[in-house]
Amino acid sequence: MSVEVERKFLFDSDTLKAIEDIGDCVGQKQFHDKYFDTPDFKLTLRDVWLRRRKQSWELKCPIDPVNGAVEPGREKSLCTQYKEITNLPEIYQRVKEVIKDTCENCDADITPSDEDDSWLNTLKLCCFAEFTTTRRSFTLKGEDGVKIDLDQADFGYHVGEIEVLVPEGGDIQSAQEKIRHTAQRLGLNEERRVEGKMTVYLKRYRPEQYAILLSAHVL
Judged by the rule CB under 6 A, the positions of this chain that interact with ligand V4E are: 8, 49, 60, 80, 82, 133, 161, 193, 196-198, 219
Least distance from ligand V4E to the Cβ atom of residue 180, Å:
16
Nearest to ligand V4E of 41, 106 (CB atom):
41
Nearest to ligand V4E of 8, 178 (CB atom):
8
Least distance from ligand V4E to the Cβ atom of residue 107, Å:
28
What is the rounded distance in angstroms from the CA atom of residue 45 to the CA atom of residue 217? 9
* In the complex, residue closest to ligand V4E by CB: 198
Least distance from ligand V4E to the Cβ atom of residue 77, Å:
10
Which DSSP string do the residues of the chain spell out, in sequence order? -EEEEEEEE---HHHHHHHHHHEEEEEEEEEEEEEEE-TT-TTGGGT-EEEEETTEEEEEEE-SSTT-PPPTTPPPPSEEEEEEE--HHHHHHHHHHHHGGG-TTTTS-----SS-THHHHHTT-EEEEEEEEEEEEEEETTEEEEEEEEEEETTTEEEEEEEEEEETT--HHHHHHHHHHHHHHTT----SPPP-HHHHHHHHH-HHHHHHHHHTT--
Least distance from ligand V4E to the Cβ atom of residue 149, Å:
7
What is the rounded distance in angstroms from the CA atom of residue 175 to the CA atom of residue 164? 6
Nearest to ligand V4E of 140, 198 (CB atom):
198
Whether the bond into 65 is cis, omega within 30 of 0:
yes
Least distance from ligand V4E to the Cβ atom of residue 47, Å:
6
Least distance from ligand V4E to the Cβ atom of residue 103, Å:
22
Nearest to ligand V4E of 53, 110 (CB atom):
53
Nearest to ligand V4E of 83, 185 (CB atom):
83
Does the CA dihedral 147-152-205-78 come out positive or negative?
Answer: positive
Nearest to ligand V4E of 49, 128 (CB atom):
49
Least distance from ligand V4E to the Cβ atom of residue 203, Å:
12
